[in-house]
Amino acid sequence: MSTPPAGTTLIDPETIAYFYDEEADGFGEPATAAEAPRNPGMMVSAGVIGLGFLALAVILLGMPLTGDWTPFLLSFGLLSAGTIGYAWFAYKDTVPGIKHDGIMFGNTTHRGAIAWALGIALTGFYVVLYWWPEYLARAIALVEPLSQALAGQPANQWFLYGFLYTMAVVLFGFRMFMRYRHNRYHIVRTISVMFFQLVLAFVLPHLLRALNEPEFYFSYFWPLKYDYLFPGTVDYLVNSPGALGSFMVFWGAVCSFIATPVLTYFYGKRWYCSWVCGCGGLAETLGDPWRHLTPKSTVSWKIERAIIYAVLLLIILTTAVLWVSSTSDGALSSISAPLQRWYGFYIGAVFAGVIGVGFYPVLGNRVWCRFGCPMAAVLGIIQRFFSRFRITTNGGQCMSCGNCTTYCEMGIDVRAYAERGENIVRSSCVGCGVCSAVCPRGVLKLENGTSHGDRYPGSDNPLGAFSTAISKGARVYGDRDGYV
């Protein structure tokens, strides 16, 4: 018998008394903390942003609009200058590196009142934009000079939306430069999304309008831009004067069916999702402050797979039915027309816009990309089973801290793979590279290998792996060949 005599113990009594409910405590925001030193530059910039909003409010609430540049510059000019100034002064004197201090305590960044208010405001903006654009008349008039200069035509709500969208990508892209200036991958990637949004998704389409050509977005393809391969669109483009319309149809088809699989084979889906796509562009710039909010549970993973592939099937079905209908003199038009309207409304508007962007401050910045985007679904299947892209784990260096998982905007439990020293080849990974950047031990690296055959057990037989994945469903641990 070797227990200590009754009444005595050799363990620290304080330790014994410690029956602490750490789950309930949660280690949230500190009760009181020393105040941050004053940053005059940031305060002035915040003031400029405030003035910009004030100008915007005054203009929207009834200042006479002359249709010239003055109110435009006064509102958007001040907002832009203030935002850029804020990012500049916030980071310029800091040591380059990961800047995540206090994110989990922030009212804006961790589902506080400000975040909810922002979410409601963003959602409200989309609702008004889609269903009651007449309330935006004054805001549309505000961007009129830019529309005239760029497209030579009056502004409408979509011009306003495109302008605000592009402004967000550019301004918050600048914030990305400051925040990740130690990391060239993020700088190059951010330049890329800013370029594609500004030039290919904003300036070029409106220049085309100025030239009386069809408005066309060269960086969006079917099935994300679902109507590009609808018979109506194809007819319209092919029949528009000049060869450009036909080229657009050709471009859309080639990008959808040839460039997508080829580029994804070499680089993974990131070539599109975090380098080219406008939805991804907004998520990576404006959405960056909320990237950690994406749900990471296995349950959310199962929901993701159910919805995203359902949307993919739905758009394939809609497109097919429309074509059958159009080539058989409207035989299926009683199905195809409602289907087209239904998809356009619920998926194109409600899901991609209202939920996808409106919910950034609450559910993270990739709600649409993760749960809804049919393009991401196609790219993901190719990436998972056939691509050379993988995130490699550096030997046994992982210490399971979970920064990678926390900051994964696609809700992937990166740590589960890293901790076992496995490649991360998940369908949803958009290759943003933040897991690699936040890893305090340098364990993760985005790589394009020389073949796709060394990425996961069973990669020599991708079709077999595909069917296994479909039959086994979502697994994070334990099973080594079932997960997608």
Partner 1 sequence: MIVGNGVTGVTAATRLRQMQPDWKITLVSGESAYHYSRPALMYIFMGHMTYEATKPFEDRFWSDQRLDLVRDWVTGIDIEDKQLVLHKTGRLPYDRLLIATGAKSNRFGWPGQDLDGVQGLYNLKDLRQLYKNAERTRQAVIVGGGLIGIELAEMLHSRHIHVTFLIREASYWCNILPIEESGMINRLIEEQGIGLIRETNLKEIVDDGSGRVEAVVTEFDERIDCQLVGLTPGVSPNTDLAKSTPIETGRGVLVDHSFRTNIPDIYAAGDCAEIVSRNGGRNLIQQVWYTGKKQGKAAGEVLAGEDIAYDPGIWFNSAKFFDLEYQTYGMILSTPQPGEQHLYWEHPSHRHAVRVVGVDGCIKAFNFMGIRARHEVCERWIAERRTVKYVLDHLEEANFDPEFFVRHETEIVRSLKEQLV
Residue 173 Cβ vs partner 1, minimum distance, rounded to whole Å: 16
Query: Which residues 100-119 are close enough to bind partner 1 by CB under 8 A?
Result: 100-106
Name the one range near partner 1 by CB under 8 A: 15-23, 148-156, 198-206, 251-259.
15-23
Query: Which residues 215-254 are close enough to bind partner 1 by CB under 8 A?
Result: none
Name the one range near partner 1 by CB under 8 A: 73-81, 153-161, 209-217, 293-301.
293-301
Residue 432 Cβ vs partner 1, minimum distance, rounded to whole Å: 12
Residue 467 Cβ vs partner 1, minimum distance, rounded to whole Å: 24
Q: Would you count residue 154 as binding partner 1 (CB under 8 A)?
A: no
Size of the site for partner 1 (CB under 8 A): 74
3-state secondary structure the chain: CCCCCCCCCCCCHHHHCCCCCHHHHCCCCCCCCCCCCCCHHHHHHHHHHHHHHHHHHHHHCCCCCCCCHHHHHHHHHHHHHHHHHHHHHHHCCCCCCCCCCCHHHCCCCCCCHHHHHHHHHHHHHHHHHHHCHHHHHHHHHHCHHHHHHHHCCCCCHHHHHHHHHHHHHHHHHHHHHHHCCCCHHHHHHHHHHHHHHHHHHHHHHHHHHHCCCCCCCCCCCCCCCHHHHCHHHHHHHHHCCCCHHHHHHHHHHHHHHHHHHHHHHHHCCHHHHCCCCHHHHHHHHCCHHHHHHCCCCHHHHHHHHHHHHHHHHHHHHHHHHHHHHHHCCCCCHHHHHHHHHHHHHHHHHHHHHHHHHHCHHHHCCCHHHHHHCHHHHHHHHHHHHHCCEEEEECCCCCCCCCHHHHCCCCCCCHHHHHCCCCCECCCCCCCCCHHHHHCCCCCEEEEECCCCCCCCCCCCCHHHHHHHHHHHCCCCCCCCCCCC
Q: Would you count residue 402 as binding partner 1 (CB under 8 A)?
A: yes
Q: Would you count residue 12 as binding partner 1 (CB under 8 A)?
A: yes
The one among 19, 40, 329, 451 contacting partner 1 by CB under 8 A: 19
Query: Which residues 29-48 are close enough to bind partner 1 by CB under 8 A?
Result: 29-37
Q: Would you count residue 13 as binding partner 1 (CB under 8 A)?
A: no
Q: Would you count residue 450 as binding partner 1 (CB under 8 A)?
A: no
Q: Would you count residue 97 as binding partner 1 (CB under 8 A)?
A: yes
Query: Which residues 409-428 are close enough to bind partner 1 by CB under 8 A?
Result: 415-416, 419
The one among 50, 67, 96, 242 contacting partner 1 by CB under 8 A: 96
The one among 154, 232, 338, 396 contacting partner 1 by CB under 8 A: 396
Distance, in Å, from the CA atom of 427 to the CA atom of 398, rounded to the nearest integer, reads: 22
Query: Which residues 166-195 are close enough to bind partner 1 by CB under 8 A?
Result: 182-185, 187-188
Q: Would you count residue 445 as binding partner 1 (CB under 8 A)?
A: yes
User: Cβ closer to partner 1: 301 or 368?
Assistant: 301
Residue 303 Cβ vs partner 1, minimum distance, rounded to whole Å: 15
Name the one range near partner 1 by CB under 8 A: 56-64, 89-97, 229-237, 453-461.
89-97
Q: Would you count residue 461 as binding partner 1 (CB under 8 A)?
A: no
User: Cβ closer to partner 1: 364 or 374?
Assistant: 364
Q: Would you count residue 3 as binding partner 1 (CB under 8 A)?
A: yes
User: Cβ closer to partner 1: 30 or 62?
Assistant: 30
Query: Which residues 43-82 are close enough to bind partner 1 by CB under 8 A?
Result: none
